[in-house]
Structure 1
Amino acid sequence: MIKSIMMLFSSTIFSSVLTLLTQTIVASELGPEAFGIFSSSLALVMLLSPIIAMGSDGYLLKFVTNYDHDLSRFNFNWIIYFILTSFPAVSVFLLIDLSQSSYLLILMISQSLINFSVAILQSKNHFISVSVLLILQSFSRILALVLLILFTDNVTINIVIILYVFVAILMVTICLILLNKHGFGFKFITKGQFKKYELLSFIKSAAPFGFTTLLHLAYFQSDIIIINRLFSSEEAGLYSAAFMILTAAYMIPSVLYQKYFLPIAHQISSAGDLIREFNYFRKGAKYIFLLSLLTAGSYYLLSDFIVMKIYGEDYVVSSMYIKVLSICIVFRFLSSNSGVFLMTKDLVHKKNKYMFICAVFNITFNFILIPRYGAIAAATTTILTEILLCVLFYRGIRKYKFSKIYASSLC
């Protein structure tokens, strides 16, 4: 267990470092204004990518605990679902993104395939393969970027876009080969598999898992887009630079809960062992809280040094945003601990409800405050949203998951 966690943790951290280095180099080469435009388009890609085959990766982890022998039918429904959901995702991107970054839409396809491939490997406990796949995209991007800088005098936004598109095509190819190896793809479709009611049932079961990611990204990525459109591209670039560094901290609970513990949580929940679940929840809350305090404190104290070393004087304002946003780390870590248990059984609907409330809260206040106050308004709204989400998640866990245990403790 410890070996698997450390393997996933190391690969995720390494991938995050590579992503941070890549974005840092891009930010330095383009400058705040051009980087703001690029970051806004990239944020839009990440916001819309969960629409494609929405929730099928999360649903697969639940599906295999009960129907591991029937993956051929899952494969057929997933392919149809993937095709159907690609059209609205691509259409919305082309409608909203009016810059030269529209070619980045291929990243939506690649990201969806990566997420599903990771889920397949997770379901089979192939954690080494998961680690390699998590690193591959980030490594390919920074390698291509370094080679580009060595052979090109002037790195422009168009060149960076071409680089990202090239890596996305590479990842699509690798994922298709991987999917084929594990029995997924057009090759494994047989006649007579299409049944309308089964497809509708599949969508109904999978979509809630995707809504969780989509609603999270709605307030996690939308502020950069709103700053770029309603305030200034330069401000969006400065805020995005700060947010990239913050995202590295968010990888810690992500790998612990989503990459490693989620399949285990489904298994424990299916077994009906509520006491064991509660013990995981209680111990997790204690340890993750201590880790969050250490991480948040480090970010606050080292923000000036980090920004100057990574970005330089052009991005000095970003250190202020990091200081403010470091408060979010504590609440994000705690939310991750409770949120993973809201992914089990039928509680994902409750989780989506809480995420929807937070997304509406965040986007509403961003539209009101950002045009007047800029990125500092986005940072403040993000803190309030993380606090609200943490409170709602713990309320949901107490009321819908462990109500019997809490009730007995009061007797």
Structure 2
Amino acid sequence: MDDDEVILSTPEEISAMAEAVKENLLPTKSRRLYEKSYEKFMSWRSEYKTTSFSENVLLAYFNSLIGTLKPSSMWVEYSKLKSMLNIHHRTDISQYAKLIAFLKRKSEGYKAKKAHTFSPDDLQKFIDNAPDYTYLLSKVAVILGIMGACRRQELHMLKIDHILDADNTLVVNIMNTKNRIDRTFTITGKYYKLVKKYMNLRPNTCTSQNFFVRYISGKCVAQNIGINAFGQMGKTMAAYLNLPNPELYTGHCFRRTSATLLVDAGGNIMDLKRHGGWKSTAVAEGYVDNSIQNKKKVSNLLMNSIEKTQPHNATTTYIPETELVPVIPAPESHQKNITPTLLPSETEPTQTPLLSQIQQDSDIPINTAASRNGNITPTPLPSDTETAQTPSLSQIIQQNSDIRINTAASRNGQTITISHNTIHNLHLHFHK
């Protein structure tokens, strides 16, 4: 009986009821693990003949665990002791700042091993090429694991009633998850056909409600599959694909692969949290593998950022061939005495591809600075010397645009102004 109960003279019946409530405060699935860690700590206290739960005692205890537990396992031990000491002794070790700092320091530089992930090519190759006679069960587990980001425990606990066949679509409900968030996903297309093929092989004599039953040489038998079998399916798939280190494709590889594929396909963090049922953003991001696809995206973003910030005084301008339009050259009579002159412009640092092509092929000096806004109507220049009978570039412009050009004026060094509307009309004409 605790000291506070002695002081308050709590009846034994009420004390027993309180103890029962305390037992229910622990997770049902891992209660025994909590109790084992608590018993281990209490045994250590007895060995060193101390009755205190002070911070120094906890520091000494966790220091003794170095070498026997990994840093990640020490945090798990801390979490279990925190709950047990709070329940049984009203001691909150989360307030022990030195203890937490000690655990953080021991975790520095430690990198936990994570399950490897499959690439899209790996999945497609296995599902399409592996013979159903041998690998149908593994294929179905892979499909459900990837499409639903399932843990091996969730695959093991999946029931027949959790899957609904609705118009060539399987609606799968994942119940009783680790974080108590139910999830739903669908299976369609050729994956639907594979899963249905496995479901149709289920023997009529099978009374188990588990969805997965043992599959041997093209037949299902009325025997449930253990949870450890799902942990081996990733390794089986990796071995078939001849991937290096197949032992690293553990039972969690399907869930990690699903998260990685979703992000690579363009899903955001909210999509990822809904897909996997994660509450914490940090935890969800921890499941995303640093895939080559993600690294390529980052590299392309950086390269594009650099290429788009070139200075305006660059000496060269790249013009794609697709932007060039065919231009009919002027007759030789118009090319003999015309000296091309490119007028400077402060508002237009580079010429448009069409203007560059016109000037190159016709030797007509063109200034588009004055008509940059497109609201200035060019004024035809008078001429009494232009009597060419053959079609020239100026005549083509007059026939297909909104201005007339006097090339005689260009021989005297005068400037011909062409509006952007004219350039647009020329562009349409030459692309007919």
Query: TM-score normalized by structure 2?
Result: 0.20
Which protein has the bigger helix share? 1
Which protein has the bigger strand share? 2
| More RCO (CA 8 Å, sep 6+) | 1
Query: TM-score normalized by structure 1?
Result: 0.21
